[in-house]
Structures are given as C-alpha cells and as structure tokens.
Amino acid sequence: MNLIIIVCDTLRRDFLGCYGNPWVKTPSLDALSASGVTFDRCYVGSFPTVPMRHDLMCSNYVFHTTGWAPIAPGNTPIQSRLRAAGYVTAFITDHQQLASPGMNYHQGFDAVQWLRGFIPDPYITEPIEYEPPCDLAKLRAPENWLDKFYRNISVRRYEEDWPSPQTMSAAMRWLERNYKHEKFLLYVDTFDVHEPWLPPEWYTEMYDPGYEGEQVIYPRYDFAGYLTEAELHHARALYAGTVTMMDRWIGRLVERVEDLGIAEDTVIAFISDHGWYHGEHGYIGKHTVLDRDQGWQFYDEVARIPLLMRAPNLQRGVRSNLLMQPVDVGPTLMDIIGLEPPEEVHGRSALPALRGKGDPPREVAVTARDLRKAPGYRTYSAIHDGTWTLMHAEEAAEPELHNVVQDPKQERNVIAENLPVAEQLHAKYLAYLARIGATEEQVENRRPLGPAEGDSHPAWAG
C-alpha cells in the first residue's frame, strides 16, 4: 500500500470547515475528512516547527533532549523504515528551515526536491524596489526577512508560483512519473501557511473585500493592541486566503491520486505543526519574542492541530476522540499499511483503538518547547487528557486549569475549584516525563505544581 504524508505549517484547526469553521473555504480538506478519519484531539508535542518534524518523522519527542536540531543518532525516521521495507521514498518541500545548514531531515529518501524562494530562503539577489506593506514597527524583525522576501516574490506571476501551489504541483508531477512503483512513500511538506501572508489578492478579497489600509503580512509577536481592529481583521483575511489557496492545491494533489487509479491502494495523511494566535488570550503570534525567558501558554489555538487520515482499510467519515500526537502518526500509518510499528519509540499506533480492539495510544498528551532551560526560565508545558488542560510552568508562573469541553476557548482558569484534577494531571505529567527518558533534574524542576508563597497556602490553589 502506498503512503502520502502532507505536512503544512502554522495552520489552525479551527480555520478548517471540517473542524467547525463556518467562513473559511476549505472544500478539499473537508472532503478528505469526510472520506477518512478526523482526529479531534490531536496536540503538538515538541514545539515549534523543526522539533515537531522530528516527532513526526522519528516518533520520538525532543522537547527534553535536542529541541530545534537535526535528527540525532539513534533515531530512525519513517522514510528509512519504509525504504528498508522496499518502498521508493520521495521528499518534496519548500520548507527552507529543513534545508538549513546542518539539518538532515532529508535522510532516508531516495529522492529529494527542494523548491526555492520562500522566506527565509537566500535565493534571489537582484536589487528591486518595493513599497513596505505597512509601518515596519508592526512587523516581526523586518530587517531579517523583508528585503529577501520581496526579492524572492518578484518572480511570481501566476498563482502556480506561490509556495504551496509549487509544492503540490511538484508532488503531482512526481506521482505521474512514479505511480507504477509497487509501493511508495511521498512526503510533502509546505511552509504555507506560515507568515508572511500575501496570497494572490483574489483570495484575500474573499474575506476582506474593499480593504484599503495597511497590510500587516507578518505581525510582530506581541501582546495584542498594537493593531487596529481593521488591521487585525485584515491579517486574519490574509491568513484565511492563504489557507484557502493551500487547500485548493492539496485538493488537486488528491485528485491526481484518483486520476491515476491508485486511490484504493494509497493512504493519505494530513497534519499541521501548530497554530497561531490572532488576538486570542491577548496574544498575536505563536510564542513570545519580547522576552525569551518568559514563554506563553499553549492554548488550543496553537497546541491543538488538525490530523486527517484516509485509507482503503479505514472507515469513512469517522471522527475520533483518541488523544493523538505527531509521535503517534508514524506508528499508526505503518500499522495501516501492514508494517510492524516500532516498539522502541515514544509513539504508539492508534489503529487497534480505532478498530475497537485495543487500548488508546495515550492517556495524556504533552505539549512543550524546551525542557532543558534552567529554572527561572518560564517555559510552559500543556498537559491534555481530552477534557482538561493544565498549563504548567514550574514555579515561574501560576498554573492554569481549563475544562476544554465546557470552556473550549479556555477563557476561565478553574484550578482553584478543581485542584485535585490539576494535581492528578501534574502527577501523570511527571510520570510521563520519566517514562520518555527525561533527566532526573528535568523531572525534579517540574515537581512543583506552581509558585509557593512562603509557608502560606498559595492563592492560586484556592
């Protein structure tokens, strides 16, 4: 059985129709959802971009080991496992961060195609003149990318020249040349819908017609308030337009699978690495860059990600409440295509539970950025069990507890009224860290549920 894995960047699940969005047009991913399994409780593990790819490829967390780094020795990515099983493996991507010097995420593939020209790719050097899209103070570190971005996009003439259209088109061409292989893995990774957002204007017009103000295409990661309501609304429209464009081209890739007559022998999986705050919780961005010692919480807008799987041997139109993380995707897909999932990794296959014949892959899901930081560095972990989410930053910040069923926007911290629930989640978190190989020091640093207040009972505990 063939396998196609499609990965995108910075896509919020609640910007997809299949996850309840009523206004963003995503018919292709909605159709993929309707023809397969939609996982409603999938959470990023190692955050952000590159660590998540490690989780996904290798089925091992790195939030407690290497963080943003190449694949370390001792990790075997899914493409190497499939190639050893006789698969032809190909990697098609426009994701420049995966091609940065020293990175090795292309290992294990028979063929690799890098598509050039997306931020922060050092690609085009010809001098050009351009008008900045807005007041530079509203952009995130424009000195690092703005000139490069406008040089790179100067060659775009048609929709096909944008990143996700280029990447999906290259994947379609690869399929046309290779679909007769006995079995193949096609791994497609696009940097869309990461900032900067500047899709063809007709996509933005779908969501904010007639806008004439500044276009904040790469908003500064900051506390909300520096953008007007109109500017923030337009930033959402730019983002939504990019989502709709990417959806359209993913749809064309899926159609090509059907045109080639291999749909009944091909598994398709789709996932994003994390989301983005568009003003929710008072934040703009996905994490703070104001003070790197003071991290932000992992609310669902960032931590809860889309995961879709379609396979000939899976039911169609199923919604699953199984807790899932990127580390579980590889073992599940290997199980679906008939290969034995690895036992030595952190991830577990969800296929037995999907078929009602086994235990769920996990009891809790953990989202974290880098647990190697010294005490005093406020780095949050989010511990999810499907009903509750605990925001934990050791003694650096008061913990938060949210009931995501009763309060899906996570606007009410109810830890004072539900302290035993928080303590139970915290205990499961510490046990899980020990189980995946966190150091004794890392576990001990996270043993306090929250900051103490001398000998008195802390106010946050009720």
pLDDT tens digit string along 188-200? Answer: 999 999 999 999 9
Residues 330 and 336: their CA atoms lie apart, in Å, by: 10
Phi (first) and psi of residue 120, to 5 degrees: -100, 45
Asked if the model's pLDDT at residue 91 lies above 90, the reply is: yes
Residues 105 and 51: their CA atoms lie apart, in Å, by: 11
Average pLDDT taken over every residue of the chain? 95
* For residues 239-258, average pLDDT: 98
pLDDT band at 372 (very low <50, low <70, confident <90, very high): confident
Asked if the model's pLDDT at residue 83 lies above 90, the reply is: yes
pLDDT of the residue at 294: 83
Asked if the model's pLDDT at residue 375 lies above 70, the reply is: no
End-to-end CA distance of the chain: 55
pLDDT band at 377 (very low <50, low <70, confident <90, very high): confident
Q: CATH for 371-461?
A: 3.30.1120.10
Residues 300 and 137: their CA atoms lie apart, in Å, by: 28
pLDDT single digits (tens) 29-56: 999 999 999 999 999 999 999 999 999 9
* For residues 333-360, average pLDDT: 96
pLDDT of the residue at 151: 95
> pTM score, two decimals?
0.97
Q: Any idea which architecture 2-354 has in CATH?
A: 3-Layer(aba) Sandwich (3.40)
Mind giving me the DSSP string for 325-356? -HHHHHHHHHHHTTPPPPSSSS----HHHHTT
Q: Residue 251, Cβ neighbours under 10 Å: how many? A: 18
pLDDT single digits (tens) 132-163: 999 999 999 999 999 999 999 999 999 999 99
Angle between helices 49-58 and 326-336 (to 10 degrees): 30
pLDDT of the residue at 290: 76
* For residues 363-368, average pLDDT: 97
Asked if the model's pLDDT at residue 454 lies above 70, the reply is: no
pLDDT of the residue at 452: 84
Q: Quick one: what percent of the chain has pLDDT higher than 70?
A: 98
pLDDT of the residue at 141: 94
Asked if the model's pLDDT at residue 453 lies above 80, the reply is: no
**Which residue, chain included where needed, has tokens 């969800």?**
350
Which among 47, 104, 102, 96 is positioned nearest to 327, based on CA atoms? 47
Residues 329 and 176: their CA atoms lie apart, in Å, by: 26
Residues 117 and 152: their CA atoms lie apart, in Å, by: 5
Domain boundaries, the chain: 2-354, 371-461
Q: Are 273 and 305 in contact (CB under 8 A)?
A: yes
Residue type, 370: D
Residues 265 and 271: their CA atoms lie apart, in Å, by: 20
pLDDT band at 120 (very low <50, low <70, confident <90, very high): confident
pLDDT of the residue at 318: 97
Residue type, 206: M
pLDDT of the residue at 288: 80
